């Protein structure tokens, strides 16, 4: 491929580095550039195309981070030799993955990136307490820890969760109704092995948490995207679109990703629909613990007199995601069904992290940590919102939210969120595009920005400055 | 139900307690005894039926342990009030589960029972080293541990496994080819999400590890039970029964449960078949580390020049099952397919136990522990074999085995292994029936007995004495 074929100025609305990135990606995918083939140096290509070196550099970075190119130091840059073995490598436009951590996947590994959403504050985790507990807990390698664990989860953790939910979320449940899972995705998988059947139709919030959507679809569910407005899921539209759906997935405390709360009339309408249709409501209460104005809303589950709600919570936001621990609370009448299912499948993993979290909760550290984080996150949210308003107020419109651990800002029409988020990710920022959450017509155009790891106002300002460099002029 | 209806002497070949157990189980399942209903006391029933109190007691114990009855101290014994909510409670003969740990499931939780197979020696685990490592490892709650982990597994653990397999099992692989899973069942699940498709036919050893069989069948696989003889899987019979199978699952080091090794001619025949048919071989190398006579056989994978073998190993037998950590080694050409798959599913769980095991391996404790256990298990195997030969030699025939962590003994025809194992389990012994492993005609009649937790010869003798009390005279 000759540099002249790239025609970098043909699409005036797309930034040059994006055009370069797309052309090279397509050329590699289509096999026009072969595995192992050398690509021009940044300096050479910039000079040939009459573009800035930084433009080529950013495109190269994106291609390297997505596994299309490999850099070999002084030996230059080549098309990845592994491209040949990639399934579907010959289909243009298909995204291949690199071996560790795909950039288009939801979750970044390792150090948190500036703006990375969905994370707790890593610097504020009570390391000393955790280390002390690890001594107390893991030193005792008792038979109950060594033998095959209960696939429903470690009993003391299930007890601690039942107690916590009663006090903090208004949910009355016995420990036997609590099932530990590998993250929220594990909870969805378990639901698909119990109350849901392949082919079942369900309502899914739109925009909505896409990794959850993917798990349900992979398990054979058919999802109807039901729009969300300022009161949350539009139940009446769901009833028009798919009146006979067998289930609905909702995030009533802070809708993911818009952050709105499901209003009380909508909650009652949703429950009435589920009762009438014998449908299941899957309540994802993923970050209800963080609310900065007014009282936290009790869980939808607390209104569930007919036992139609299956409730899920996660430790990813309140402790840390590396634990991979979430939980599912099921109605009493389904307890036995779930016990039989968990006995037939791999289960929630090692008992060690479960024992750590149980000890952390039993000794009162969990409630204390939540209180501290609620205060801290209100302050850190302020750092980001202030920096955005001052330095980027003309480009975006911050959405009001009473809680949660990310800020949603809508973009002006001439900025494309996907392009911007891809550029941000290539530049080492953890911003996500709102339209990724959209299963339909991509009418949403905004950015999701985490703030929990901005330790100071200058921290947030520095990150916003890096973001501002990426605006289309 | 009146005691006289029980007719306990109608089936002369079935022990009285078994008859009692079956009658009550069927009566409860069919709803003839209702949830909450009181059953006679042991004393009363024994007197009415003219049987020994011990006979009623054993039947009651079995019914309690399976969740049909609940004892309420002085208030007596009742039909479980939860029976009403059990799905299928009205189908006679169906096994219900109790809430924690089903007695008919493969794995017992908590303290190891005498004879419980598939466990390492709990008393010989290096607790002090483990505690020290927990301090070193978990004290560092670093970003790499806190953030979303690599769903392929913790990188240092994958490296340590690749190194270990190269040295100990003759398998050359890069860390990128190693995927951490939640136990062996997690590895099978991952295979069903990558190289296998619902509806695929595969060869499965018969007798063979039934929990694995169940996972594969649940994932939609069709299994052809291929008989095992003294050289392991009968490849030529597999070729007759299902020449076009897409995969074969084998345990070449010590066949599970017979303990025989797959002979070299059979290994070569199996590989030739897979190469010719483009079929996959799933090698389960679950306890290859323990061999007491002669040199350990290298893994089948080490002969796999055409990259048809997917290799699995587990830490359940060499460290402890509570870790729920196993691994899968995939051919280089499939690496990318597996990386894409693990990104879409819940993954191997928390990074904490993975980091612990990685540190344990890196610091040389793993190799040392294996060496020690190999010596210890040879001694403990001796305790059991000697006690069995001396105290029960006329009832069973111990099968010669060069390794593994359980003893297989075939029974005389007038002893039924399932009846005996059920009685043993009710009496608190962890023995398993060979016929459970049999997917076909139940031509196998034997007992599987673990020995790793017999700390002394008298220990083993005491357990064998308890077993001997259960023989049908």
Distance of residue A325 Cα from the nearest chain B Cα, in angstroms: 7
Closest CA to B318 of B77, B119, B165: B119
Q: How many residues does chain A have?
A: 473
Same-domain pairing of B372 and B249: no
Instruction: Give pLDDT tens digits for B395-440.
Output: 899 988 878 899 999 998 888 999 999 999 999 999 999 999 999 8
Tell whether omega for the bond before B207 is within 30 degrees of 0, i.e. cis: yes
Contacts of B198 (CB under 8 A, 6+ apart): B192, B219, B220, B221
A76 near B CB under 8 A: no
Nearest neighbour of B139 by CB, restricted to A86, A99, A131: A131
| Rounded percentage of chain B residues whose pLDDT exceeds 90 | 64
- Domain finish residue from A318, A342, A363: A363
Chain A contact set for B186 (CB, 8 A): 346
pLDDT of residue B87 exceeding 70: no
Domain boundary among A321, A344, A363: A363
Contact A125/B at CB under 8 A: yes
pLDDT at residue B91 greater than cutoff 60: no
The half-sphere exposure of A282 on its side-chain side, counting CA atoms within 13 A, is: 25
At residue A13, the pLDDT reads: 57
In the 3-class helix/strand/coil scheme, how is A336-402 assigned residue by residue? HHHHHHHHCCCCCCCHHHHHHHHHHHHCCHHHHHHHHHHHHHHHHHHHHHHHHHHHHCCCEEECCCC
Establish if B134 belongs to a structural domain: no
pLDDT of residue B66: 61
The answer to whether residue A168 sits within a structural domain is yes
**Minimal CA separation from B80 to chain A, in Å:** 13
B324/A181 Cβ within 8 A = no
B395 domain-assigned: yes
Whether the ω angle into residue B154 lies within 30 degrees of 0, i.e. cis, is no
Q: How far apart (Å, rounded) are the C-alpha atoms in residues A49 and B274?
A: 52
* CB contact B159 to A (< 8 Å): no
Q: Chain A residue with minimal CA distance to B102?
A: A343
Whole-angstrom Cα distance, residue B246 to residue B269? 16
Query: Are B185 and B218 in the same domain?
Result: yes
Q: Which residue has the tokens 């860390």?
A: B175
Q: Tell me, yes or no, if B195 comes closer than 8 A to chain A by beta carbon.
A: no
CATH, residue A313 = 3.40.640.10
Residue A460 CA to residue B350 CA, distance in Å, equals 30
Residues A380 and A462 in one domain: yes
* B189–A345 C-beta distance less than 8 A: yes
Tell me the count of A-B CB pairs closer than 8 A: 228
Alpha-carbon span A184 to A196, nearest angstrom: 16
How near does any CA of chain B get to the CA of A111, in Å? 5
Same domain, A384 and A309: no
- Least CB-CB distance to B141: which of A127, A218, A348? A127
Its pTM stands at 0.79
CB B398 within 8 A of CB B385: yes
Domain end (from B310, B337, B363): B363
Residue among A174, A172, A213, A210 at smallest CA distance from A192: A213
A441: CB partners within 8 A, 6+ apart? none
CB contact under 8 A, B346 and A138: no
Could you tell me the two tokens for A439? 């299963």
- Two structure tokens written together for A444: 């949403």
Tell whether A203 and A151 lie within a shared domain.
Answer: yes
Which residue of B lies nearest to A335 if distances are taken between CA atoms?
B99
Whose CA is closest to A357, among A144, A164, A173?
A: A164
**B283 and B351: one domain?**
yes
Instruction: Determine, yes or no, domain membership for B425.
Output: yes
Query: Is the same domain home to B74 and B174?
Result: no
Number of H helices, E strands in chain A: 15, 15
Residue B292 and residue B385 in one domain:
no
Contact B349 A349 (CB under 8 A): yes
Please name the member of B185, B189, B322 whose beta carbon is closest to the beta carbon of A350: B322
pLDDT of residue A102 exceeding 60, the answer is no
Question: Which residues in chain B (342-361) have CB-CB distances under 8 A to chain A?
Answer: 343-353, 356
Residues A185 and A323 in one domain: yes
Residue B198 at interface with chain A, using a CB cutoff of 8 Å: no
Alpha carbon distance B248, B204 (integer Å): 6
3-state percent breakdown (helix, strand, coil) of chain B, nearest 5? 45, 15, 40
Whether residue A237 sits in one domain with residue A319: yes
- pLDDT tens string B43-62: 888 877 777 777 787 777 76
Place of tokens 């599913």: B345
Residues 15..44 of B with a Cβ closer than 8 Å to A: which? none
Instruction: Give the residue from A141, A193, A323 with the most B CB atoms within 10 Å of its CB, the best one to mutate.
Output: A141
Q: What range defines the domain where residue A462 resides?
A: 368-468
ipTM for the complex? Answer: 0.77
Give CA–CA dist B51/B272, Å, rounded: 61
CB A461 within 8 A of CB A380: no
Torsion of CA B68, B73, B77, B78, to 10 degrees: -70
Question: Which residues of chain A does B214 touch, with a Cβ-Cβ cutoff of 8 Å?
Answer: 344
Judged against a pLDDT cut of 50, whether residue B89 lies above it is answered with no
User: Mean pLDDT for chain B?
Assistant: 86
Q: Quick: pLDDT tens for A276-326.
A: 999 999 999 998 888 887 666 789 999 999 999 999 999 999 999 999 999
- List chain A residues with CB under 8 Å of B147: 107-112, 119, 122, 320-322
Nearest Cα of chain A lies from the Cα of B185 at a distance, in angstroms, of 6
Is the separation of the CB atoms in A77 and A60 below 8 Å?
A: yes
Look at B155 and A111 and tell me if their CB atoms are within 8 Å: no
Please provide residue B256's backbone torsions phi and psi, each rounded to the nearest 5 degrees: -95, 115
Residue A243 lies in a domain: yes
The CATH number of residue B387's host domain is 3.90.1150.10
Q: Which has more confidence, A14 or B102?
A: A14
B173 and B293 in one domain? yes
User: Which chain A residues are Cβ-neighbours of B138 within 8 angstroms?
Assistant: 130-131, 134, 138, 356
Confidence category of residue A55, pLDDT binned at 50, 70, 90: confident
* Count of domains forming chain B: 3
CB contact burial B398-414 (16+ within 10 A = b; e otherwise): bbebbbbbbbbbbbeee
Higher-pLDDT residue of B93, B17: B17
Q: Tell me the CATH number at B28.
A: 1.10.10.10
The A residues from 97 to 116 touching B (CB cutoff 8 Å) are 97, 99-102, 105, 107-112
Predicted local distance difference test score (pLDDT) of residue B442: 67
Query: Measured between CB atoms, which of B87, B181, B339 is closest to A99?
Result: B339
Examine residue B133 and state whether it is found in any structural domain, yes or no.
no
Query: pLDDT-derived band of residue B143, with 50, 70 and 90 as boundaries?
Result: confident
Per-residue pLDDT reduced to its tens digit, A231-256: 999 999 999 999 999 999 999 999 99
Residue at token pair 């879409």: B344
Task: Tell me how far apart the alpha carbons of residues B452 and B117 are, in angstroms, rounded to a whole number.
Answer: 8
**Residue at B103 is within a domain:** no
Any A CB within 8 A of B88 CB: no
Q: Are residues B333 and B434 in the same domain?
A: no
Query: Does any domain span residue A135?
Result: no
Nearest CA-CA partner of B235 in B201, B266, B275:
B266
Contact between residue A198 and residue A221 where contact means Cβ atoms under 8 Å apart: yes
Say if CB A15 and CB A3 are below 8 A apart. Answer: no
CA end-to-end distance (rounded Å), chain B = 30
Residues of B in contact with A88 (CB under 8 A): none
What's the average model confidence in pLDDT over B213-240? Answer: 96
Q: What's the start-to-end Cα distance of chain A, in Å?
A: 30
Of these ranges, A100-104, B250-254, B412-416, the one predicted with the greatest mean pLDDT is B250-254
Report the gap between the CA of A156 and the closest CA in chain B (Å). Answer: 13
pLDDT at B113: 93
């Amino acid at each position: 491929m000759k540099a002249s074929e790239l025609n970098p100025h043909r699409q005036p609305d797309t930034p040059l580095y994006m055009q370069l990135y797309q052309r090279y990606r397509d050329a590699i995918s289509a096999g026009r550039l072969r595995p192992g083939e050398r690509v021009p140096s940044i300096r050479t290509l910039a000079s040939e195309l009459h573009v800035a070196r930084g433009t080529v550099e950013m495109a190269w970075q994106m291609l390297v981070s997505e596994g299309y190119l490999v850099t070999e130091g002084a030996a230059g840059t080549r098309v990845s030799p592994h491209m040949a073995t990639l399934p579907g490598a010959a289909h243009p436009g298909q995204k291949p993955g690199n071996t560790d951590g795909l950039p288009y996947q939801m979750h970044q590994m390792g150090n948190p990136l500036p703006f990375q959403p969905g994370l707790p504050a890593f610097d504020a985790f009570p390391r000393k307490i955790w280390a002390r507990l690890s001594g107390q807990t893991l030193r005792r390698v008792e038979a109950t820890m060594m033998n095959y664990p209960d696939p429903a989860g470690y009993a003391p953790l299930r007890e601690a969760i039942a107690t916590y939910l009663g006090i903090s979320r208004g949910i009355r449940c016995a420990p036997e109704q609590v099932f530990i899972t590998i993250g929220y995705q594990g909870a969805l998988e378990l639901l698909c092995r119990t109350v849901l059947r392949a082919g079942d139709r369900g309502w899914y919030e739109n925009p909505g948490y896409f990794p959850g959507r993917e798990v349900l679809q992979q398990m054979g569910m058919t999802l109807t995207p039901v729009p969300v407005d300022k009161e949350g899921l539009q139940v009446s539209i769901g009833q028009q679109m798919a009146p006979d759906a067998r289930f609905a997935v909702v995030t009533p405390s802070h809708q993911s990703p818009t952050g709105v709360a499901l209003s009380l009339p909508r909650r009652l309408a949703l429950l009435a629909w589920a009762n009438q249709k014998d449908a299941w409501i899957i309540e994802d209460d993923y970050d209800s613990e963080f609310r900065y104005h007014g009282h936290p809303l009790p869980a939808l589950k607390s209104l569930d007199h007919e036992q139609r709600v299956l409730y899920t919570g996660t430790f990813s936001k309140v402790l840390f995601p590396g634990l991979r621990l979430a939980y599912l609370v099921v109605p009493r009448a389904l307890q036995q069904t779930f016990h039989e299912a968990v006995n037939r499948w791999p289960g929630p993993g090692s008992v060690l992290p479960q024992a750590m979290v149980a000890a952390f909760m039993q000794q009162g550290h969990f409630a204390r940590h939540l209180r501290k984080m609620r205060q801290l996150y209100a302050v850190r949210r302020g750092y980001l919102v202030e920096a955005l308003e001052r330095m980027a107020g003309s480009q975006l419109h911050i959405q009001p939210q009473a809680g949660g651990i990310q800020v949603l800002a809508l973009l002006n029409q001439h900025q494309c969120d996907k392009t911007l988020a891809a550029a941000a990710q290539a530049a080492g920022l953890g911003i996500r595009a709102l339209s990724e959450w959209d299963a339909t017509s991509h009418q949403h155009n905004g950015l999701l920005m985490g703030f929990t790891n901005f330790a100071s106002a200058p921290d947030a300002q520095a990150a916003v400055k890096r973001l501002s460099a990426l605006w289309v002029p």
